[in-house]
Structure 1
Amino acid sequence: MEKQKKKTIQMPHTYVIIFAVVVLCAVLTYLIPVGSFQTQEISYMMGDTEKTRTVIVADSFTYAVDEAGNRVRSGVPLFGTEDFGGQGMLNYVFEGLTSGDKNGSAVGIVAFILVIGGAFGIVMRTGAVDAGIHAMIRKTKGREIILIPVLFTLFSLGGAVFGMGEEAIPFAMVIVPLTIAMGYDAVVAVCVTYVATQIGFGTSWMNPFGLAIAQGIAGVPVLSGAGFRIVMWAVFTLAGVLFTMAYARKIKKNPQSSVAYESDAYYRNQMAQSDAAAAPFTLGQGLVLVSILVTIVWTVWGVVVEGYYIPEIASQFFVMGLVAGIIGCIFHLNGMRPSDMASSFQSGAADLVGAALVVGMAQGIVIVLGGTDPTTPSVMNTILYTLGNLLSGVPGVLAAWLMYVFQSLFNFVVVSGSGQAALTMPIMAPLADLAGITRQVAVLAYQLGDGLTNLIVPTSGCLLGVLGVARLEWGKWAKFQIKMQGMLFVLSTIFVVVAVMIGFA
């Protein structure tokens, strides 16, 4: 008898998905007229510090028109021309990769991912992480599940307190092999690191990179409404922990049911070939792990106290890799020599080239739509204006919920939390007044929509960086994440409705 193979829906590769979106956006540029906003500088207080931000003027949108008064449609060409600044549909990869600066998307995040990958390539070459994982497994035998709530809560706090996001990438490099060695999978590692940070980010009561900016733009006292948001953070974090633990138990019982089972084979094979399980834990290995811990503390201090961001954090982890390599050479860990440091850095960076490319490709979507400059006529501006208008005249609870849905969808093209706040809050805040809801509710809709959809949108460079570390394709991740996303959507809807009902202000 012939075995019948079940037909399964094969999710396209991430590159294919992004290319399809780029083509769709290119088509839209021929159908939708371009428009622009006026901007203004606003000031707001964050503690004792005065902050300024350039935002759009809500009622200032105008369509670009030609000499005959007809609305202009600036269809993007296949290849870049001088009229389009060298930007075209089929060079979206190059233009995306070279856009931005060292402090943000895309070139900054691309460099960050490659440096982090190289640094951890050196660390992993020493064998200290493998040895540490096996030592931890021996000590927590049968109690591995307790690590999930502990790690999830800590990373969620990181997202809530100082807007942790990109920082999850290096942590995932250690935690992915840890969870796999404990009998779980890479999905669990992504949940307790990146997912946790974004749940914290989206429900934060003090996040300086999202909440504070949105409140300042909306004219709401900065960091107000903390009581409601702390309760919200606790509920969402608990829900995330329980969801992850239930999934982890399922994978422990049946590892082959994991969407990451095939890709996790890379780590399982590494562990099978390693002698770390039986070998004693040495002083040199301990010093390498101490260097990782010191770097973590140094990074948290730098972000919270000194305001470090992508360039500084990348340098901190480069130093960590350098120190770990020197320790490896001194103690001859895995027979390590100076030349091995260089080759390990190269191979570590090479492992994340795919994730780095996706960051540039995703940024290409924004470029095809005309970029995020509100003063330059673009399809992006027209889409923002049109969607904002759809919310006008809608009453109460429905208006607040639609704001949340709008922010969730808009996050697909503008993943930056502060960038989305600057573009949308000047429109959402006045709409909240017209709908009879508080501006605090409009801010709530923004932070939930912006933060929680970061867990699934294929345009998030940070998400794709973590998935690159986990060797997990976006399509397989989405197959798992869609269920959690549904749970978070229901919870968000409940909190938005409750906020409207109690007049959250």
Structure 2
Amino acid sequence: MSKKEGKGLKSFNKGFQVPDTYIIIFLVVVVAALLTFLVPKGFYETQDISYMINGVEKTRTVIKDGSFQYLTDDAGNVVTEGVALFSGDGGTGFFNYMYNGIVSSSAIEIIAFLMVVGGAFGIMIRTGAIESGLIGLIRKAKGAEKLLIPILFVLFSLGGAVFGMGEEALPFTMILCPLFVAVGYDSVIAVLVTYVATQIGFGSSWMNPFSVGIAQGIAGIDVFSGAGFRMVMWVVFTALGCGMTMFYASKIKKTPTISIAYKTDAYFREQNEKTGIDEGHSFGLGHILVLLTLAATVVWVVWGVMTQGYYMPEIATQFFIMGIVSGVIGVIFKLNDMKLNDIATSFKDGAKDLIGAALVVAMAQGIMQVLGGSDPTTPTVINTIMYNISNALSGVSGAVAAVLMYLFQSVFNFFVVSGTGQAAITMPIMAPLSDLLGVSRQTAVVAFQLGDAFTNLIVPTSGCLIGSLAIAKIEWSNWIKFMWKFLGVLMIGAIITILIAVGTGF
């Protein structure tokens, strides 16, 4: 039943086969194209607002209340314009979605990030320092490896809550996959304690400037207000996620073959055997210097994100510098018999491993291109869809409206994965709508942040998710088989949280 990695179809069971991620996204593009023939185009007017982040006043362009208009022709009829199959003038066409997705501003940064960071870690891995460090950590664990799970989960969740950690988790997934496989777990746990933990922290954050700060500023409430409620929310969801991860880990420890990644983890098992975990293993000054370079880079990245506002371009460059320094150390100390040309070769190999993930990111962004893009002032299908969904929430009770807001944000997150982008598009509508429905704007922000984050754990349009799964060598279809229960528990928790917020007048 198994197929070679990256080929054929993966199945949930013997009677049903799930298409490859590429096929799934192509089918979504088809649906998006059909919508352009059925849904008229609409647009909004915008205005600039000011908000405070860390004592600094900033401005942002948001949608003006009640400004939605349909695009009309000279006769006053609304315009429905289906996307062309092919555009020969650099515009939007159905079959242009791949190229347009690659060059779109929202995708190119993630693609570049994946390539540069993947290459940088390819160099570091080539030195063998990470392997040596992992072997030392495994030996130190000596039956206490279970403690690694809650410690790492809390740390990564805190990173998501404090500075919006997401893309930054990818390099750590590279490090932790072989470690968890070596101590009797699987690569799924590596993804859970890194990427999944960051998204739980991201969704329950009290001070993330990229989601909560922006959403509160747009909603017209004090930035980072309501921190007490959200801190409790973070503790509860982090404990919930950590508990489910530890429960899963205990099952895998007893019966490793039940893991969805058991077959693909053979790659990490083979790598661990080559390192000689149960044998003597050299660990000299060169290895120490490489690991110190990694540690210094992590501190530098955290400092840059929290104090300088660094984002993907700067973070990728920081890791690129780390790769060069590690390579030079490897050559000088002849780690793994490393030579000068090995720096270039290992960089190319590291980047090559993430090409598949980069293409998925490009195709996913092509969906928005087919729908006309997410600019609120440009007549697009997505603006009309947004307008009609928001109108559908009118007339329901506050509790129902808040839950529907959350469900809507969860679904909309498929199209706009960026927390900042989703806040900019949806909060100008959801904030004034919450006033009409008897829901506080704080609760509307809670619905936004929980909806924005938790579905990041499954949507194939999330570049971070696809990147993490590519690193762990887990097929997206297999990931869904595992994650749907995990996500279900989180979503039930999110609905209960929103109902509590409404009931307490938060």
TM-score by length of 1: 0.96
Q: What is the SS of the residue equivalent to 1:41?
A: strand
CA contact (8 A) 1:358 1:464 kept: yes
TM alignment of 1:247-396, pairs within 5 A: 247-275=248-276, 277-278=278-279, 279-396=281-398
Q: What is the SS of the residue equivalent to 1:457?
A: coil
CA contact (8 A) 1:133 1:181 kept: no
CA contact (8 A) 1:403 1:428 kept: yes
Name 1:462's counterpart in structure 2.
Answer: 464
- 1:96 lines up with 2:101 in the alignment: yes
Name 1:147's counterpart in structure 2.
Answer: 148
Offset of 1:459 from its aligned partner? 0.4
- Cα distance in 1 between the residues matched to 2:121 and 2:368: 31
TM alignment of 1:198-237, pairs within 5 A: 198-237=199-238
- Cα distance in 2 between the residues matched to 1:117 and 1:12: 26
- Residue identity opposite 1:68 in structure 2: A
- Cα distance in 1 between the residues matched to 2:468 and 2:458: 12
- Residue identity opposite 1:427 in structure 2: I
Q: What is the SS of the residue equivalent to 2:276?
A: coil
- 1:68 lines up with 2:75 in the alignment: yes
- Residue identity opposite 2:234 in structure 1: W
Q: What is the SS of the residue equivalent to 1:94?
A: helix
Name 1:444's counterpart in structure 2.
Answer: 446
1:147-178: per-residue Cα shift (whole Å, max 9, x none)? 00000000000010011111111111111111
- Cα distance in 2 between the residues matched to 1:485 and 1:9: 22
Offset of 1:273 from its aligned partner? 2.4
TM alignment of 1:111-260, pairs within 5 A: 111-260=112-261
2:51 aligns with one of 44, 62, 69? 44
- Cα distance in 2 between the residues matched to 1:256 and 1:352: 27
1:30 aligns with one of 8, 24, 37? 37
Offset of 1:13 from its aligned partner? 1.1
- Cα distance in 2 between the residues matched to 1:72 and 1:294: 56
- Cα distance in 1 between the residues matched to 2:411 and 2:430: 14
- 1:498 lines up with 2:503 in the alignment: no
1:165-206: per-residue Cα shift (whole Å, max 9, x none)? 111111111111111111111110111001111111100000
Offset of 1:86 from its aligned partner? 2.1
Greater alpha carbon shift after TM alignment, 233-242 vs 253-262: 253-262
1:434-480: per-residue Cα shift (whole Å, max 9, x none)? 11111111011000000111111110111111111111121111111
- Residue identity opposite 2:77 in structure 1: N
Offset of 1:277 from its aligned partner? 4.2
- Cα distance in 2 between the residues matched to 1:99 and 1:152: 33
1:121-172: per-residue Cα shift (whole Å, max 9, x none)? 1111111111111111111011111000000000000010011111111111
Q: What is the SS of the residue equivalent to 2:310?
A: coil
- Residue identity opposite 1:69 in structure 2: G
Aligned residues: 494
- Cα distance in 1 between the residues matched to 2:124 and 2:91: 41
Offset of 1:281 from its aligned partner? 2.4
Greater alpha carbon shift after TM alignment, 60-69 vs 273-282: 273-282
- Residue identity opposite 1:458 in structure 2: P
Offset of 1:10 from its aligned partner? 2.7
Q: What is the SS of the residue equivalent to 1:400?
A: helix
1:11 aligns with one of 4, 13, 18? 18
- 1:77 lines up with 2:84 in the alignment: yes
- Cα distance in 2 between the residues matched to 1:474 and 1:54: 36
Name 2:478's counterpart in structure 1.
Answer: 476
- Cα distance in 2 between the residues matched to 1:189 and 1:396: 39
Offset of 1:68 from its aligned partner? 2.6
- Cα distance in 1 between the residues matched to 2:453 and 2:334: 44
CA contact (8 A) 1:448 1:492 kept: yes
Name 2:414's counterpart in structure 1.
Answer: 412
Structure 1 unaligned blocks of 5 or more: 1-5
- Cα distance in 1 between the residues matched to 2:461 and 2:241: 22
CA contact (8 A) 1:203 1:232 kept: yes
Name 2:6's counterpart in structure 1.
Answer: none
1:309-339: per-residue Cα shift (whole Å, max 9, x none)? 1111111101111111111112111111111
- Cα distance in 1 between the residues matched to 2:203 and 2:210: 11
- Cα distance in 1 between the residues matched to 2:265 and 2:406: 35
Q: What is the SS of the residue equivalent to 1:313?
A: helix
- Cα distance in 2 between the residues matched to 1:375 and 1:497: 34
Name 1:3's counterpart in structure 2.
Answer: none
Offset of 1:280 from its aligned partner? 3.4
Greater alpha carbon shift after TM alignment, 22-31 vs 323-332: 323-332
Offset of 1:489 from its aligned partner? 0.5
Offset of 1:81 from its aligned partner? 4.0
Greater alpha carbon shift after TM alignment, 43-52 vs 188-197: 43-52
Q: What is the SS of the residue equivalent to 2:210?
A: coil
Q: What is the SS of the residue equivalent to 1:10?
A: strand
- Residue identity opposite 1:436 in structure 2: G
CA contact (8 A) 2:92 2:372 kept: no
Structure 2 unaligned blocks of 5 or more: 1-12
- Cα distance in 1 between the residues matched to 2:429 and 2:287: 54
1:229-267: per-residue Cα shift (whole Å, max 9, x none)? 000000000000000011111111111111111221211
Q: What is the SS of the residue equivalent to 1:55?
A: strand
- Cα distance in 2 between the residues matched to 1:275 and 1:153: 31
